[in-house]
Amino acid sequence: MQNDISVAALCLNLEQKLMEVWNNELTLERYRKVLAEFTVFAGNSSYSQSLGADFLIARFTERGGLVSTDEHSRKEETYFRCMRMLAEYHNFGIIHRRNDFFGEIVWPGPFRQCTEGFFEAVIKEGLSYGYVTRSRMIIHDLLLFLDARDIHTPDKISVRDNDEFIKSFYGLSPKGIETKLCTLRRYYRHLYLQGYIRVPLAERLPKASIQGRMAFPTVWGQDEIKKIEDSAERISPAGKRSYAMVLLAARLGLRIGDIRNLKLHDIDWTKKQISIIRHKTQKALLLPLPEEVGWAVIDYLKNGRPVTESPNVFVRHRPPYDAFSVTSSLNHIFSSVMVNAGLPPEKNTDVGWHTFRRSLATNLLQNNVGINVISEILGHSDPDTAGKYYVQLDLENLKKCALEMEVMDYVRKDS
């Protein structure tokens, strides 16, 4: 944390950092404008998040007032993002962009020892890199929230602060809320056991109920899958990348994490096989590479993939052309694919990359492929668990299991 630094100095430092990591000159110019306005607004004042909030209120009041909905103009979003980046850079010395941290996180002074100790313990437990990265983002958001409330030491965190932070989870899926609460519970438990806090905040966290589903999960039939594949744009480099990803998800049932992390050396072109270590389970999986899928990947590698030193098959198409973040869900690519197919995903639905995997399993079931075979194809570690899940999606075969109800006349007996 850069304590007691003037707004002018902090804005200058952030601008220099942005010039190192940002390649879009138009976006840079927008941020420079906001930083310059904030510098004039603050005068000789030292930086604080509350001062940044005052600046936003003043600017939006001039423009007609704050918007209470989630809809903002591009200009308003630029102001919000710039102020958030300034807060992140002040607190952690990093820039957070699309699930990536540009720079090594330096945790704020009083939180540094306890937070670094927490992540050392998590890593020793053998938890995955993806879990650790997601946990960093959650703790990062927590400390940013606490800073906005002028809480700069662990022992000052109250139950009320905790409750207010949890309110920011509103709108997330039950699973998303559970993930955040699980990380917070682990973090608070560490702080309590190590003596950094006196109140057992972990025990004050609510439990997220994810029993059952809010809606029946979406499954696509073979005709819908074919429509999505056939409508894919395959001319531009991004289109070739999207098409190859869709085929890997639809034909092989690969999770998006495994597609995102697919390495060049994972593909044996001679044997026409893909050999990976699954991102979720860390177990090996060997799959045949169908001809059409193979040609789609080859087309991307030869005619779409930018020149890069990255070992990953799929990379970003903007400098420095590196691999996608380990936490990126690539939803922007999925959305563009669905728009091309005339099936734009609606808000608050469960449609995503995983729908391809779910649909493949269901279509195989409807073609009388056994659960054990499907589990082997999809790389499930527990066939029984997978079977219970996918069987409930097979409506056609479930209809065959329906029992006839005996219809009886209802006669009320007078007493």
Mean pLDDT over all residues of the chain? 81
Active site (annotated) includes residue 354:
yes
Question: Which of the residues 129, 318, 388, 389 is marked catalytic?
Answer: 389
The answer to whether the beta carbons of residues 58 and 115 sit under 8 Å apart is no
297-311: average pLDDT: 96
Rounded Cα gap, residues 376 and 286, in angstroms: 10
Band the pLDDT of 402: cuts 50, 70, 90. very low
Between 208 and 272, name the one with better pLDDT: 272
232-243: average pLDDT: 95
> Does the pLDDT value for residue 252 go beyond 80?
yes
Q: Please report the DSSP string for 262-316 in residue order.
A: -BGGGEETTTTEEEEE-TTT--EEEEE--HHHHHHHHHHHHHTSPS----BSSB-
Residues in the chain: 415
Active site (annotated) includes residue 357:
yes
Nearest to 121 by CA among 182, 184, 185, 187: 187
The answer to whether the beta carbons of residues 317 and 211 sit under 8 Å apart is no
49-62: average pLDDT: 85
DSSP 330: -
Lowest mean pLDDT among 33-47, 72-86, 186-200, 377-391: 377-391
Helix, strand, coil shares, percent, the chain, to 5: 55, 5, 40
Question: Which of the residues 240, 255, 279, 305 is marked catalytic?
Answer: 255
319-333 confidence digits (pLDDT tens): 889 998 877 889 889
Active site (annotated) includes residue 280:
yes
Using CB atoms within 10 Å of the CB of residue 207, give its burial: 0 to 12 exposed, 13 to 18 middle, 19+ buried: exposed
Question: Which of the residues 213, 272, 280, 283 is marked catalytic?
Answer: 280
Instruction: Give me the pLDDT at residue 11, please.
Output: 93
Using CB atoms within 10 Å of the CB of residue 35, give its burial: 0 to 12 exposed, 13 to 18 middle, 19+ buried: buried
Rounded Cα gap, residues 26 and 73, in angstroms: 16
Residues of the chain with CATH 1.10.443.10: 222-400
Residue 144's contacts (CB-CB under 8 Å, 6 or more residues apart) are 87, 88, 91
Instruction: Give me the pLDDT at residue 229, please.
Output: 94
Question: Which of the residues 32, 84, 204, 354 is marked catalytic?
Answer: 354
Question: Which of the residues 96, 357, 358, 390 is marked catalytic?
Answer: 357
Query: What percent of the chain is modeled with pLDDT above 90?
Result: 37
Nearest to 248 by CA among 317, 315, 295: 295
228-248: average pLDDT: 95
Using CB atoms within 10 Å of the CB of residue 195, give its burial: 0 to 12 exposed, 13 to 18 middle, 19+ buried: exposed
133-170 confidence digits (pLDDT tens): 889 889 988 988 898 888 989 999 999 998 988 887 87
Lowest mean pLDDT among 113-127, 131-145, 172-186, 204-218: 204-218
> Does the pLDDT value for residue 381 go beyond 90?
no
Residue 129's contacts (CB-CB under 8 Å, 6 or more residues apart) are 326
DSSP 155: G
Between 223 and 61, name the one with better pLDDT: 223
Pairing state of beta strands 267-268 and 100-102? Answer: unpaired
Question: Which of the residues 131, 251, 380, 390 is marked catalytic?
Answer: 380
Between 280 and 203, name the one with better pLDDT: 203
> Does the pLDDT value for residue 173 go beyond 90?
no
Q: Considering the entire predicted model, what is its pTM?
A: 0.60
Spell out the CATH class of 222-400.
mainly alpha
Pinpoint the alpha helices (H) of 22-108. Answer: 25-42, 49-62, 74-92
